[in-house]
């Protein structure tokens, strides 16, 4: 009977390393359901603007938009470009309610952030998921940004202030709007909860995808006006996005 704990340990290790990869359905070689091959093939962000994560054609810290008009957030962390096959994985999570995929993506974002924290990126004191429009929340049944923030919170022990930012009004779909149109669309869309206290705090906004940055811009402006010391943005992916004026 003395070998039983060892047998359990072997079974545990085997089950961890023999998970099916969510991307290719092959037997995995990682302690999470994404095989090394598929993980290497993800559209990893390479040279990007440190402030808004926009892909850069040159090796400089900032894009021209952030140089000319610095956004109210300090840094954007996005491990991937919004491209195949990650775009399909995010859609599975977001639109088809594939929560195990959401947990996998959240945990890999956490691994990226751990690396960045070890490199010197300051850890935030609170994480704030971007709130979903009420109607979209009713249809979807969950807020993908909140689920991501909860995974990160589990990894880092950072509190999720999930009701600090509220949607005051629903906005029409922003899918086909450029940055100025999105900014107009979002005017007055967000507010701070009456009991939210952000003064002097370093905060991180959590979202699934940053497209033009208009949502992050609107919420970070609100938080900075309320006295937040610093706002960063954590998201899974960044789209190339239309050029800023």
Closest CA to 76 of 180, 229, 231, 183: 231
**Mask of contacts with Zn ion, 136-155, x by CB under 5 A?**
--------------------
Closer Cβ to Zn ion, 62 or 192, answer by number: 62
**Local structure of residue 213 (DSSP, 8 states):** S
183, with CB counted inside 10 A (0-12, 13-18, 19+), is middle
In this chain, which stretch among 24-32, 99-107, 123-131, 168-176 interacts with Zn ion, using CB under 5 A?
Answer: 24-32
Answer for which of 23, 80, 190, 234 binds Zn ion (CB under 5 A) is 23
Q: Are 26 and 35 in contact (CB under 8 A)?
A: yes
> Residue 63 interacts with Zn ion (CB under 5 A)?
yes
Task: Give the residue with the Cβ less far from Zn ion, 107 or 150.
Answer: 107
- The yes or no reply on residue 220 touching Zn ion (CB under 5 A) is no
Q: Which of 45, 49, 201, 205 binds Zn ion (CB under 5 A)?
A: 49
**Spatial separation of the C-alpha atoms in residues 178 and 172, rounded to whole Å:** 13
Judged by CB under 5 A, the stretch of 8-16, 41-49, 193-201, 230-238 that binds Zn ion is: 41-49
Radius of gyration of the chain (CA): 19
Name the token pair of 191.
């507010």
Are the C-beta atoms of residues 142 and 100 closer than 8 Å to each other?
no
Question: In angstroms, what is the minimal distance from the CB of 120 to Zn ion?
Answer: 20
Figure out which of the listed residues 33, 42, 48, 51 binds Zn ion, where binding follows CB under 5 A. 51
CA 225 to chain centre: 23
Beta bridge partners of 76: 233
Note whether 216 binds Zn ion by CB under 5 A: no
- Please give the residue ranges that form the binding site for Zn ion (CB under 5 A): 21, 23-24, 35, 38, 49, 51-52, 54, 63, 66
């Amino acid at each position: 009977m003395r070998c039983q704990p060892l047998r359990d340990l072997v079974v545990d290790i085997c089950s961890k390393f023999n998970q099916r990869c969510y991307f290719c359905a092959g037997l995995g070689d990682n302690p999470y359901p994404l095989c090394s091959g598929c993980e290497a093939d993800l559209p990893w962000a390479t040279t990007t603007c440190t402030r808004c994560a926009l892909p850069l054609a040159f090796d400089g810290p900032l894009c021209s938009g952030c140089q000319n008009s610095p956004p109210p957030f300090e840094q954007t962390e996005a491990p991937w470009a919004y491209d195949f096959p990650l775009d399909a994985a995010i859609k599975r999570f977001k639109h088809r309610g594939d929560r195990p995929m959401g947990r996998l993506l959240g945990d890999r974002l956490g691994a990226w952030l751990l690396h960045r924290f070890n490199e010197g990126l300051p850890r935030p004191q609170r994480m704030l998921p971007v709130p979903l429009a009420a109607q979209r929340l009713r249809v979807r049944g969950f807020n993908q940004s909140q689920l991501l923030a909860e995974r990160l919170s589990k990894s880092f022990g950072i509190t999720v202030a999930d009701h600090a930012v509220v949607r005051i009004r629903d906005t029409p779909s922003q899918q086909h709007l450029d940055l100025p149109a999105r900014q107009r669309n979002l005017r007055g869309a967000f507010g701070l909860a009456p009991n939210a206290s952000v003064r002097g705090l370093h905060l991180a906004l959590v979202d699934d995808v940053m497209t033009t940055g208009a949502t992050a811009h609107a919420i970070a402006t609100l938080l900075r006006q309320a006295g937040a010391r610093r706002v960063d943005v954590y998201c899974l992916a960044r789209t190339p996005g239309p050029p800023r004026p």
